[in-house]
Structure 1
C-alpha cells in the first residue's frame, strides 16, 4: 500500500480530487498486483460543487463509486450526453468506464469512495482464476450493495491513518473488491473458483517468513510468492485455511508477541510496540485492548504485579 496526501506528488488519488475540485482527500493504493494497481480515494464536501467535474483522461479503466452517505442529487454525463439525473441512497455502488468520457455535476453535499480499477487488473484476476478474457463490467444500474458496503467501509480507518494499516490491509481489501466485482458485475460471468486450503508446509514457510521480523511491512505479493501462487488465489486460500485474512492473522501474531514480552520482560511498552511491528504505543494499545480487553500497561500489571509500564 502506498499513500499520497494533499501536498504530495500527483498520483491517481490527487488527480481524481483535482478533477472534482476537492482540496482535501484521502487515498490508498495497492502494491501487489503484477499489471497495474487499484487506487481508492475518499472525496467529501459539505457544499457540493458549482461546476461540472473536469474531463477525466480517457483510459481503459473503471471508476467504481461508493456512497458513504445519501447523495441527494447529481447529474452524470457520458460522451457529452446526460444519462442520469437524481440521487443515490447511502451504500449505493455505481460504476463508469473512463472510455465513456464521464463527467458529473454534484451540486449537493457528498461523501464517497472512488475506486480506480484498470482493465489490466481485472484481466489479471481473470487470468489467475482461469476465467474467459475480461470484456468489461456491467454496472450501468446503480444499486445498494451490502457486501460491497462492508468491504468499502472497512477501509475508512486505514484512509484516516494509512501508516497504522500497513500494505497488507489494502492489498487484501482492494483485491477482494475487484474479485467481488468480477463475480457479480461481469457480463456472462461464472462464479470465481472456490479456493483450496494451504498445506501445512506452505503455512510453515509463511509463518517463518512473517514472524522472523515483525517490523517489516510485507506485501501480499511477496507472501504469495513463497507459495508460488497468484495473489488473488493465495489470499482466498489463506482465508480458507485460517478463517481470516493475512493482515488479520499477522496483527494477531504481533499482538500475541507483545503480550509475551509484556509478561516476560521489562522492556518499555513503546519499545515493545516497535519490535512487534506497530507504528507506535498508541497503535499497540488500540489493537491490544480490542483483543485482550485490557491496555498493555494493565495487562502487564495483571501478569506480574512487580512490573510496571
Structure 2
C-alpha cells in the first residue's frame, strides 16, 4: 500500500496546550487511518472535537481532569480510551505522559467492517472514569502497543501486519468479524439495510421517541422481524440503541457546557434526572456527576 497519507490530525494537537511531541507515526496503511505516539509535558490542557473514531492508550500513570479548569483531577493508571466522531473533549493533565493514538475515519471503518460505525454498539471509554479495567480495554492497550513497536521499527513485516492489527482492534470493539482490509464476509445485507433505515428513524425521533410498531410500519416489516434484524446487525434492540444514543448526547452536553443535569435529562429525552443517571451508569459504567466533577 502506498505511503501517501493525506489523513491529517494536526488540528487535534494544535488544540492541546502545550502541543505534545510526536515520537513516531504510521503513514503506510491507507489514507483514512493514522497511528501516532505522542509525548506530553508535565502539565497542560486540551479542547478538541473528534472527527474520527479515536482509540488511545495511556502507557504512563498521570492525573486527568474533565471539563472546566476548576474540576478535580483523577488518578489515571495505564489504560485505554475510545472516543467517537463528534465528541468534544475538554480537560487537562498533570504529570509527564506518553500516549498512543489510532484515528480511523468512518469511511475506513465501513471499508474494514462492511457496516456503518453508527450501527454498532461501541461504548466510549474515559481514562479516569472507568472504575475497573475490562478485557476489551486491555486488548486495546496491547494491540496499540504492538502498532507502536511496529512503527518504531519501520514495519519490518510490511503494511499488511498493521492492517491486520487494526482489523483486530475493530473486531474487539464491534464484536463482529472485521475484514482484513477488503477481504472476508459481511453480515446479511438485508439485515443491514433494515437496520440502517430503522436507525435513521430512531435518530429523527431521539428526543420524543417512536414506537416499534411505527418503525416497522414505515419499513414494511413486522415488529418481530425488525427486532431480529436489528439485533443481528447491532447486537442490541432498537430500545437499547435509543437509550445509548440519548446517553451519548447527554455525555456530550455535560462535557461541553454547564447545564444542570435535570435540564440535560429532559433535553435528551429522559423523564427526569434519576432516569438519566441510572441509564447513564448502566451504559458507561460511571455516573453523570462523576463526569462533571
| TM value normalised by structure 1 | 0.46
Structure with greater Cα Rg: 1
